[in-house]
Amino acid sequence: MIRQHSGIVQRFARLVLAAVAFFAIASCGSGGVSGPPAAPGPLAITPATATLYSGLPTTFIVSGGTGTYAVTSSDQLTIANVDFFTGSTLIVVPNTVVADTPVTLTLRDNGSATPTAATLTVKARTVSNIVTITPSASQSSVCGSSVCAGGDAEVKATLAIGGVPLVNRLVLFQVVSGDFGIITSAPGQAEATSLGGSTTTDAGGTARIRIRVLPEAVAQTALIQILDVNSGFSQRASFTIAPSTNSPLNAQPSTVAFIGRDHSSCANNVHADVIVFGGHPPYQLSNPGAFTLDTPVVSTSGGRFTITATGQCASGTPIAVVDANGATVTVTASNSPAAITQQTPPLVASPTTVTLDDCFTVANLFVAGGLGPPYYAASGNTLVEPYVTSSDFHTWSIHRVHGGTSIATPVTVTISDGQSVTNITVNLGLVAQGTC
């Protein structure tokens, strides 16, 4: 009995040891005995406080809880509820509002985690997403809709809330990226540019400003930002810049002919403007001898210089225009007596008084008499500009140039045939007197 009892004890001990070994091996093979699953973390939404704008998306980060979430809005007309979703991001796009609107978003999961909330302010979208950037009419057609290097352009944006224009609203234009600057100098002064410039909206809620592209700019896409200072809303717009190598050096008109008052004398103290564009500004001008120039250098593409007849007769005098890379074009000037000996009819223009009611009104007039075409020429100032609109040079138009500051009324536009002049009185309405 003792022997049998001893065998039973030994077998029992072996079973115990085997069980212990099994659990030890199982423990090692599984990396340890797993405990109960960790409790989920608290719900969180980031940012917890934010300013949103109508129609623009804002991304929130959500975490914690079970990973399946729903969002309840305190103002469903402004921000709709969000049904259960999974993931860590929530994109919110507010509906249109016309005033600052508070909204609370409450985040919960499909478990028992304590809900959390984000406090938001939804603001009206004030700057239209349509921003127009129009290159100067003097730039070369080679650049197309792009702004030529060294060229300028008008930037126009409209501000409104609920379709109602925001009048006299302060707007800041800012360079985001690209080789250009905001023109901040007043018309008639030496041009100055900056990375930012401000203006105010007109009666239609439109803000306008001009930009200048650097002469050495290469082909690129530039970004400009329009900021409504009052609300803080901003809108960005892009435009393309064409390198100046795409715009050959040019000067127009390339031929200027002055005619004296009669067959025995040449023109004296009569002026003509020449526009220089393309190439690489600045442009150096050669001395024309029998004529005078108002400047020896044209600093920007689209700039101009004035040739003045001195009474000295000359035939085919060349004026060289040389850009920074050495490219050259020539403007030829001549001054000769009138080819006719009989008395010429007086130079007349009709009407002699016109009115520009706003920034977009165009006044037309008819010119006749004097030496006749093609000797007609017209001049105004930097903000009121005449230009020919018919191939026979008899019909001219006058319009308000956009940009710059306000202007006093009236303004005088001069029509000349090289030997006599006639003046047109241009009256400006209240809108046309302002910043266009």
Whether residue 99 is contained in a domain is answered as: yes
Say what the pLDDT of residue 167 is.
95
Whether residue 30 is contained in a domain is answered as: no
- Residues 292-313 have a mean pLDDT of 91
- Residue 15's pLDDT band (cuts 50, 70, 90): very low
What is the torsion angle, in degrees rounded to the nearest 10, for the CA atoms of residue 288, residue 290, residue 291 and residue 296?
A: 30
Interatomic CA distance for residues 173 and 235, integer angstroms: 10
Interatomic CA distance for residues 235 and 294, integer angstroms: 41
Residue 45, pLDDT above cutoff 90: yes
Say what the pLDDT of residue 37 is.
58
Say what the pLDDT of residue 56 is.
86
Strands (E), 184-230: 193-194, 196-200, 206-213, 220-228
Whether residue 183 is contained in a domain is answered as: yes
Residues 114 and 174 placed together within one structural domain of the fold: no
Domain-ending residue, one of 246, 265, 280:
246
- Residue 8's pLDDT band (cuts 50, 70, 90): very low
Say what the pLDDT of residue 340 is.
59
Residues 223 and 271 placed together within one structural domain of the fold: no
Interatomic CA distance for residues 138 and 152, integer angstroms: 9
Residue 6, pLDDT above cutoff 80: no
Name the residue range of residue 147's domain.
132-246
Residues 236 and 136 placed together within one structural domain of the fold: yes
Say what the pLDDT of residue 400 is.
87
Whether residue 1 is contained in a domain is answered as: no
Residues 314 and 265 placed together within one structural domain of the fold: yes
Say what the pLDDT of residue 26 is.
44
CA distance to 10, 48, 320, per residue, from 86 (Å): 59, 19, 72
Interatomic CA distance for residues 197 and 174, integer angstroms: 7
Task: Point out which residues pair with 298 in neighbouring strands.
Answer: 283
Whether residue 2 is contained in a domain is answered as: no
Whether residue 383 is contained in a domain is answered as: yes
- Residues 4-31 have a mean pLDDT of 45
Residues 382 and 307 placed together within one structural domain of the fold: no
Residues 184 and 158 placed together within one structural domain of the fold: yes
- Residue 342's pLDDT band (cuts 50, 70, 90): low
- In degrees and rounded to multiples of 5, residue 142 shows phi and psi of -60, -30
Residues 297 and 378 placed together within one structural domain of the fold: no
419-429 residue pLDDT tens: 888 999 999 88
Interatomic CA distance for residues 241 and 98, integer angstroms: 36
Say what the pLDDT of residue 25 is.
41
- Residues 203-207 have a mean pLDDT of 94
Residues 299 and 326 placed together within one structural domain of the fold: yes
Least confident of 32-36, 73-77, 129-133: 32-36
Domain count, the chain: 4
Domain-ending residue, one of 208, 229, 246:
246
232-285 residue pLDDT tens: 899 999 999 988 666 688 999 999 999 988 778 899 999 999 999 878 788 999
Residues 52 and 113 placed together within one structural domain of the fold: yes
Most confident of 122-131, 195-204, 245-254: 195-204
Residues 115 and 101 placed together within one structural domain of the fold: yes
Whether residue 219 is contained in a domain is answered as: yes
Q: For the chain, what percent of residues have pLDDT higher than 70?
A: 89
The chain-wide mean pLDDT, for the chain, equals: 86
- Residues 189-199 have a mean pLDDT of 91
Q: What CATH number should be reported for the domain holding residue 311?
A: 2.60.40.10
Domain-ending residue, one of 219, 246, 273:
246
Interatomic CA distance for residues 362 and 186, integer angstroms: 24
Find out whether 148 and 278 touch, Cβ atoms under 8 Å: yes
88-99 residue pLDDT tens: 999 999 998 888
Whether residue 412 is contained in a domain is answered as: yes
Q: What CATH number should be reported for the domain holding residue 357?
A: 2.60.40.60
- Residue 181's pLDDT band (cuts 50, 70, 90): very high
Say what the pLDDT of residue 38 is.
60
Interatomic CA distance for residues 141 and 150, integer angstroms: 14
Say what the pLDDT of residue 391 is.
80
Residue 82, pLDDT above cutoff 90: yes
Residue 1, pLDDT above cutoff 80: no
**Is the sign of the CA dihedral 385, 158, 405, 139 positive or negative?**
negative
Pick from 361, 360, 363: nearest CA to 352: 363
CA distance to 125, 127, 200, 372, per residue, from 163 (Å): 11, 11, 18, 51
